[in-house]
Structures are given as C-alpha cells and as structure tokens.
Structure 1
Amino acid sequence: MAKRKQSKGSRGSNKNLSEEVIAKFQQRADVTATASGLLYRVIEQADGVVPGMQDNVKVHQRIKLGDGSVIDDTYKKGLPEEYAVSEAIEGLQEGFQLMNTGARFEFVIPPELAWGKRGNSGAIGPNAVMIVDVRLVAVE
C-alpha cells in the first residue's frame, strides 16, 4: 500500500507548537487579541483606507509557520500579492479590516482562523499556527 504524502508536521506536534507560539506572543506588551483569538501587533500605523470584505487588497506579506519556516515572502520577491479580502483565510479577513492602507501589522493566526485541523495539503500542516507580517499596500 502506498504511503500518503504528509503535509508539514503532525496534528499533535503542530497543536503543541501552535499553543506555545500563541502563548509566547500574547506575553508581549504591544499585542492585542480580538474576540476570535486573532493576535496582532502594529509595526507601522497609517491613515489610509480600511478595506471591507468586498474589496481587493494589494499586500506585501511574509508568512511563517510556528517553527519559523517561511511559506511565502513577497517582500523578498519584490512583488505584492493581490486578492479579494473574502478569499483570504478567516484570520486575514479579520486582520485586513483592522488595517489602514500603508499600515504594517504582524498577525499570529491560530489554526482555527487559518487552515484548521486539515491543513492545506501542502506546506501548511494540520493545526498549524501562522505568523504573517503584512503591509497593506493598496485597497481597490
């Protein structure tokens, strides 16, 4: 019988790592928690437009997992990503609506607001926390 390809990390080890990352981040004085469990800190504030669910956003983002591995980094690539707020994972949908154009935030997104118990069958395993450094470049 062929062995199924496993996505990054096991359900149990990711859950433990996610809990550790979240607990450590929560201890920082500059971190805010929302009612949903999304954690964020403001790196740079701005006074531009705040996107809504129906808007498209252009963002620079560095997406890391709890173990520090980088999933995507548009800062390095030099090209921002563009997509609809409604297409983002739940944690980013909420996070974008806290930001103004030009702002840069760091989000710690618990698994239940990211890819959950199933992961995304690729680089993001089950129960994985995501750490996302986002600069909101534009709202369209």
Structure 2
Amino acid sequence: MLQTPGGTTPRLTKTSARRLATALAVPLLIASATACGSEDGSENGAVPSVTGATDKKPKVAKGEGKPPKELKVKVLKEGSGKKVQKGDSLNANYHGQLWNGKEFDSSWKRGQPATFQIGTGKVIKGWDEALVGKKLGSRVEMVVPPSKAYGKRGQPPTIPANATLVFVVDMEKVLPSKIDGKPVKGDHNPELPKVSTKVEKDKAPEVTMPKGVEKAPDKLLEETVVKGDGKKVKKDSTVLTNFTAKMWKGGKQLDDTWRQGGPQEIPVDKIPGWAEALEGKKAGSRVVISVPSSEFPKKQRKQFGSGVVFSVDVLSVK
C-alpha cells in the first residue's frame, strides 16, 4: 500500500483494496525516517547480475555473500535524454527484490510505469540519491542498504526489518509536476468547500470546509477553480494528478499525494465521482469534487457516510 510505515487510509477506489489511487502508485518506495549513509556509486562489486532487454522486465540474480553496507549504483544502459533533476516527476518502470532474490514489487506486473517525485524525500533515500542526475532512457541498478530504505522497521509484510533491497529502474520520462492554468473569476458555489487557487509544486491547496456543514450535498457537485487549456478528460481517460481528499464530517484528511509519492497516474473511473466530474475538463485545471456517500459501493457507504471532497489538479491526460 502507498503509505508511510504504520500509516493507514480508508479505501476509496471502486474496485481495489488499495488506497485511493494505488493500483498505479509506487507502493513500496515511500520515504521512511531512517538513518543516513554515504553513497558509493563507483564500486560495482556485490551488485547482482541483470539480464533482459531494456523496456522489458529484467531477470535479476540473487545477491551473493553479505550485502554491501553502502548504496551501490550501476548504470546498465545510459540513455540519451536530459538529466533528471530534484523535484522532477519521474515516470519509470521498476523491479524490486530482496537481497535473497525474492521479488516484492514490480511495475511490469501492474502493466504500466509508475510516477513519483524524485530528489525531495518523497521516496526512499536510495532512490533519491541514485536517480537524480541520471539521464532519461537509462536502465539503472541499485543495491539499497537498510539505512537508505526502511531500516529497522521494514515494510511488513513484504519487506522485513533491516532488509537490503535490489532495484532495476528504466527511466522513461519526466511528467508535469504542477498545473499551469489560470484562476477562474466569478462566484464560488457556497455548497462546496473553498479551495485556494494558489499553485505550489510541493504543497496541496488549502481546503476550507463550510462552517457547520457535516455532510456532502446529496448530489455529485464539481467546480473548476483553476482552468487549464490542455487536452480534455474523457470518461475513460487516465490523468496524471496531484489531489487531496477530505471527509465532509470534521474535515478529516483522507489522502494527499503532495505528502506522499507526488503525482500519480489514475484512470478516472477508478475513484467514485471522478469520471463524471472531470469529463470535459482540461489538463492544467484544478477541480473541486464533492462526492456523496451514495456514489460509493455499498460496502463503503457506511465508512464514508458523510461524503468526500476532492481537490484534483489535472497535470496531463491520456
């Protein structure tokens, strides 16, 4: 699940037991508070062998002997694209396994690359240190010691405590990390929370819930507060988005991609209300969506009885 160790979040997707958007997220890369270590990218000893063509799922040998105590980074194929910079939203395919060869995660198994913000502490330290400065199109192998991964806590049940991790990453492209639309002038719908039009790369907009209102309106409502001029969203589109979500009752925070792995690619039909509310909206927009409990599957209606409000930044559409 896409969360920091020990965290939990209600399930809002229609068909998945993962959190809001996590069929497409980076489930095991979210940053963990661990001790720091120094990088050693010049030595390639103790790095397991990798076979297979770039753009295909690699076959990675299990580690031999004792795992290295320092971060090991090896460029298996150098790309010709631009260098990835801190704060970029990197779109990449990746394979992850334990030092003993046991696979714990693979974007190839999920059928498409994942997107995450690199170099800003949103993912484990080993990724931040290994991938910033590498060129797009590269295939990079890294051996990540516990001090730059999940340390003593691990990431149960897939990653044990003090685990050394081995990754192979195909760095595909950099995607937009913030919207570029213009604030919409005019009256605000008083039935909806007020959402700031200020656009920040690393921070969700302020969402002010209406005073004294503890339940969402009975029908699905949406309002565009920042209007972009990019590609239009269709009901079967996948959007690259940053979003924040709150319960109507008490304004309880449910999710915030700015605080997690950064922008994520999400099919709009995977989250209740999104397909209808976002249809026709353009990339570069910020849309406020109020979803009543009736829009959720029956098993989830009690859990989200007051309804949910989303502020969705549409970064790109495909």
1:26 to 39, 45, 60: 45
Which ranges of 4 or more aligned residues in structure 1 deviate by more than 3 Å?
Answer: none
User: Aligned residues: percent identity?
Assistant: 26
Instruction: Please report how far the alpha carbon of residue 75 of structure 1 lies from its aligned counterpart in structure 2 after TM superposition.
Output: 2.5
Output the amino acid matched with 1:120: Q
Question: Aligned equivalents of 1:44 and 1:76: distance in 2?
Answer: 22
Q: Which residue of 2 aligns with 1:128?
A: 163
Comparing both structures, which one devotes a greater share of its residues to helix?
A: 1
The one-letter amino acid of 1:77's match is R
| Inter-partner Cα distance in structure 1 for 2:90 and 2:113 | 10
Q: Specify the alignment match of 1:56 in structure 2.
A: 89
Matched, 1:90 2:109: no
1:70-81 to structure 2, matched below 5 A, reads 70-81=103-114
- 1:60-81 per-residue CA deviation (whole Å, 9 max, x = no partner) reads 0000001211111122433001
CA distance in 2, matches of 1:134, 1:107: 8
> Would you say how many aligned residue pairs link Structure 1 and Structure 2?
110
Aligned with 1:26: secondary structure?
coil
Which residue in the other structure is 2:72 paired with?
39
- For structure 2, the 5+ residue unaligned runs are 1-43, 50-68, 176-318
Moved more, 48-57 or 123-132: 48-57
Q: TM-score, normalised by structure 1?
A: 0.71
In structure 2, distance between residues paired with 1:48 and 1:58: 13
SS of the residue corresponding to residue 79 of structure 2 reads: coil
- Quick check: 1:49–1:139 contact (8 Å CA) kept in 2? no
| Structure 2 match to 1:12 | none
Partners of 2:135 and 2:174 lie apart in 1 by 9
- Cα distance in structure 1, aligned partners of 2:155 and 2:46: 29
CA-based RMSD of the aligned residues comes to 2.0
Q: Unpaired runs of 5+ in structure 1?
A: 1-24, 31-35
How many Å separate the matches in 2 of 1:133 and 1:58? 14
Contact 2:94 2:107 (8 Å CA) reproduced: yes
2:74–2:140 Cα contact (<8 Å) kept? yes
1:68 and 2:91 are equivalent in the alignment: no
* Partner in structure 1 of residue 251 of structure 2: none
Q: Secondary structure at the match of 2:147?
A: helix
Structure ID, larger Rg = 2
Matches of 1:27 and 1:37, distance apart in 2: 11
